[in-house]
Chain A
Amino acid sequence: MVGVPTFLHVSLIWVPAICTFLLSFTNWNGFRFDNMEFVGLRNYKQLFTVFEKDLYEALLNNAWVLIFLFVVATPLGILVAYILDKNLRGTAVYQSVFYFPVVLSLAVVGFIWKSVIYSPRQGVLNVLLNRTEEGNQISWLGDSDQVITLVSDYGLSKNFLAIIAPMIWRHVGYIMVLYLAGLKAVDPSLREAAAIDGSNEWQSFKNVVFPSLKPVNIVILVITVIEALRVFDIIDVLNNPIGTDVLSILVTESILGESSNVGRGSAYGVMLLMLCFGFVVWYLRSTFREDDA
Chain B
Amino acid sequence: MISSRRNQIIAQVFLFAMAVLWMLPILGMIISSFRPYAETSTDPNGFFSWPDTLTLDNFRNAWARGNMPRHWFVTFLVVIPAVILVLFFSSMVAFAVSRYSWKFNIALLMLFTAGNLLPPQSIIQPLFQIYNRIPIPEFAPYSNSGELRGSLIGLILIHVAFQSGFCTFVLSNYMKTLPKELNEAAMVDGASLWRQYWQIVMPLTRPALGALATLEFAWIYNDYFWAVVLVQKGNDLPITSSLRNLSGEFFTDDNLVAAGSLIVVIPTILIYLALRRQFISGLSVGASKG
Contacts and interface: CB of A to CB of B under 8 A. Distances in A.
A254 B218 CA distance: 29
Interface stretch (A46-54, A123-131, A156-164): A123-131
Nearest to B43: A122
A8 B160 contact: yes
B122 A269 contact: yes
Contacts of B193: 1
Interface string B1-27: 111000110011011001100111110
B130 A16 contact: yes
B287 interface: yes
Contact of B93 (A2, A89, A290): A2
Main SS of the interface on chain A? helix
A128 to B, nearest CB: 9
Interface stretch (A65-73, A104-112, A146-154): A104-112
Contact of B197 (A1, A115, A195): A1
B164 A17 contact: no
Given A99-B276, A103-B268, A2 B222 contact: no
B232 to A, nearest CB: 8
A199 to B, nearest CB: 11
Contacts of A103: 218, 222, 268, 271-272, 279
A233 B1 CA distance: 41
B280 interface: yes
A129 B63 CA distance: 33
A20 B11 CA distance: 49
Interface string A180-214: 11100100000100010000010000000000000
Contacts of B244: 107, 236-237
B288 to A, nearest CB: 6
Contacts of B96: 1-2
A86 B160 CA distance: 39
A216 B289 CA distance: 10
B224 A115 contact: no
Nearest to B230: A255
B284 A122 contact: no
A38 interface: no
Interface residues of A, number: 109
Interface residues of B, number: 104
Interface string B184-227: 00000000011001000000000000000000001001111100
A99 B224 contact: no
Contacts of B111: 6, 9-10, 14
B32 A115 contact: yes
A179 to B, nearest CB: 9
A226 B287 contact: no
A42 interface: no
Contact of A83 (B14, B218, B254): B14
B228 interface: yes
Interface string B98-125: 0000000010111111110111111111
A93 to B, nearest CB: 8
Given A104-B222, A122-B254, A182-B288, A127 B48 contact: yes
Given A107-B224, A232-B225, A13 B115 contact: yes
A12 B258 contact: no
List of 9 A-B pairs having minimum Cβ-Cβ separation, nearest first: A105-B222, A181-B284, A122-B46, A19-B126, A116-B28, A5-B89, A248-B121, A12-B161, A16-B123
11 contacts: A8-B160, A98-B22, A99-B279, A103-B218, A181-B288, A233-B224, A237-B224, A237-B243, A252-B229, A288-B109, A292-B106
Given A9-B112, A98-B19, 16 more contacts: A2-B92, A2-B96, A16-B124, A19-B126, A88-B8, A103-B268, A103-B272, A104-B265, A116-B258, A178-B284, A182-B287, A185-B288, A237-B224, A251-B125, A270-B122, A272-B122
